[in-house]
Amino acid sequence: MTLTQRARSYWTNCSKVTLDLLYPPKCSLCGQFGDSNPCIQCVGEMTISEPAIACNNAEELAFQGSVYRYPGRAGQAVRLLKYERRTGLAEFMAKSVRDTAEAEVLEYDIAIPIPIHWLRLVSRGFNQADLLASSLPKREFGLRRVRATKPQAGLNTAERLTNLDGAFEVVTDVKGKVILLIDDVVTSGQTAKECAKALRAAGASEVGILAFCGDVY
């Protein structure tokens, strides 16, 4: 290590110590002070999805998966990341997605985070699905949201089925490839299904989704 590198490392460590003294790290979920975010107790309160992956070759999605169930701490993490910009949670959430993909031995050619419309991206400052896909190999931004839509969570079943029609466009070569979609939460799976329709129309051989939390069908 050169003298310059040592100096940078020293000042980086000093800065971290100073910041930790002024702003002690704490859990974004319960507010408890500590080094991990979320804390061990809050992680222990998250309900693991069992099974993590459910296959369904009869529909657009070959499989649908999630790391945790939505109720409780996992759903709280999603809401705080998305709506209150608690980005300190993103590293843990991304690692959880990666670990589950590896544990389930998911084989794919491209990992694609489900996109949000550029207006929402400007407003929020980030796409939470991008953050959760950041630890995965073979990540590409292969989809674009070309139409602003209403949030699926506020719609009834009939509205959800039509809200996302034509909302996604494929912007990378997916012919003959297996695609792994990544998102923060999956419930009805309608958003993922619309993405899968666009990807299958562009030549993808198989599409599945893995989310941080949600329902597995």
How many other CB atoms are found less than 10 A from the CB of residue 22?
A: 7
pLDDT at position 60, please? 84
Residues with pLDDT less than 70, the chain: 1-24, 57-58, 148-164, 217
pTM over 0.85: no
Residue 112 token pair: 């694609």
Q: Is the peptide bond before 115 cis (omega within 30 degrees of 0)?
A: no
pLDDT at position 22, please? 40
Amino acid at 215: D
CATH of region 46-214? 3.40.50
Q: Which residues have C-beta within 8 Å of that of residue 94, sequence separation ≥ 6?
A: 131, 132, 133, 134, 135, 136
How many other CB atoms are found less than 10 A from the CB of residue 145?
A: 21
How many other CB atoms are found less than 10 A from the CB of residue 13?
A: 10
CA 4/CA 2 separation, integer angstroms: 5
CA 139/CA 185 separation, integer angstroms: 18
Domain residue limits, the chain? 1-45, 46-214
102 Ramachandran zone, left/alpha/beta (phi>0; psi -120 to 50) = alpha
3-state helix, strand, coil split of the chain in percent (to 5) is 40, 20, 40
